A and B are shown apart, each in its own frame.
Chain A
Amino acid sequence: MKKTIISFLIILLLFSCKKNTLQIVKIKGKQLPITEKLVSDSSIVKTYLPYKYKMEKEMNTVLSYTSKDLVATDGKLESSLGNLLADLCYQKGNFVFKKRTGKNIDFAMFNFRGIRAGVPKGNVTMQNAFNLMPFENNLVVTELSSEKLKELLQYLITQRKAHPLSKQVKLKITKNGYNFTINGKPINNKKTYYILTSDYLQHGGDHMDFFKNPIKLYLLNYKMRSSIIDYFKETDTLKTKLDGRFVTEN
Chain B
Amino acid sequence: MKRRKFIKQSTAATAFLTLGGLSLQSFSKNSLKQITILHTNDVHSHIEPFPADDTDYPNLGGVARRATLIEKVRQENPNTLLLDAGDIFQGTPYFNIYGGEIEFKLMSQLKYDAATIGNHDFDNGIDGLLAQLPNATFDFVSANYDFSKTVLNNYVKPYKTFIKDGIKIGVFGLGIELEGLVDPKNYKETKYLNPVEIAKKVSKTLKEEEHCDLIICLSHLGYHYKSDKIDDLKLAAQTKNIDIIIGGHSHTFLPKPTITKNSIGENVLVNQVGCYGINVGRIDFYFDDNKNKTSKGKTIIV
Which A residues are closer than 8 A to B by beta carbons?
A: 12, 16-17, 20-36, 38-45, 47-48, 51-52, 54-55, 58-59, 130, 136, 138, 219, 221
Contact B68 A39 (CB under 8 A): yes
Whole-angstrom distance between the Cβ of B64 and the nearest chain A Cβ: 4
Contact A48 B47 (CB under 8 A): yes
Question: Given A30-B302, A59-B93: A44 and B285 within 8 A (CB)?
Answer: no
Question: Given A51-B94, A51-B98, A55-B94: A27 and B64 within 8 A (CB)?
Answer: no
B287 close to A (CB within 8 Å): yes
State the main secondary structure of chain B at its contact with A. Answer: mixed
Contact B97 A55 (CB under 8 A): yes
24 contacts between A and B (CB under 8 A): A22-B166, A22-B288, A22-B289, A22-B290, A23-B288, A24-B287, A24-B298, A25-B286, A26-B32, A26-B299, A27-B301, A28-B286, A31-B255, A31-B256, A31-B281, A32-B281, A33-B279, A34-B278, A40-B67, A47-B109, A51-B47, A55-B93, A55-B98, A219-B183
Contact A26 B61 (CB under 8 A): no
CB under 8 Å from chain A, chain B span 180-232: 183, 185, 213-214
Question: Given A26-B24, A32-B69, A33-B278: A47 and B106 within 8 A (CB)?
Answer: yes
Query: A220's closest neighbor in chain B, by CB?
Result: B183
Q: How many residues of B contact A (CB 8 A)?
A: 71
B284 contact set on A, CB distance < 8 A: 26-29
B105 contact set on A, CB distance < 8 A: 47
Q: How far apart sit A24 and B287, CA to CA, in the bound complex (Å)?
A: 4
B261 contact set on A, CB distance < 8 A: none
Query: B18's closest neighbor in chain A, by CB?
Result: A26
Question: Given A36-B49, A55-B93: A12 and B63 within 8 A (CB)?
Answer: no
Q: How far apart sit A29 and B267, CA to CA, in the bound complex (Å)?
A: 13
Whole-angstrom distance between the Cβ of A137 and the nearest chain B Cβ: 12
Contact B286 A48 (CB under 8 A): no
Interface pairs A-B: 9 shortest CB-CB: A40-B64, A41-B67, A29-B257, A38-B65, A26-B286, A44-B64, A28-B284, A25-B288, A22-B213
B254 close to A (CB within 8 Å): yes
Q: A26-B285, A138-B183 are in contact. List 11 more A-B contacts (CB 8 A).
A: A21-B289, A21-B290, A31-B273, A31-B279, A34-B65, A36-B49, A38-B66, A43-B67, A43-B109, A55-B93, A55-B97
A25 touches which one: B167, B277, B298 (CB < 8 A)? Answer: B298
Whole-angstrom distance between the Cβ of A51 and the nearest chain B Cβ: 5
Question: Given A29-B281, A31-B280, A55-B97: A24 and B286 within 8 A (CB)?
Answer: yes
Contact A44 B63 (CB under 8 A): yes
Most chain A CB atoms below 10 A, which of B24, B67, B183: B67
Query: A12's closest neighbor in chain B, by CB?
Result: B4
Q: How far apart sit A24 and B3, CA to CA, in the bound complex (Å)?
A: 23
Q: How far apart sit A145 and B93, CA to CA, in the bound complex (Å)?
A: 38
Q: How far apart sit A28 and B256, CA to CA, in the bound complex (Å)?
A: 10
Q: How far apart sit A42 and B214, CA to CA, in the bound complex (Å)?
A: 34
Query: A136's closest neighbor in chain B, by CB?
Result: B90
The 0/1 profile, CB within 8 Å of A marked 1, for residues 39-66 of chain B is 0000000011100000000011111111
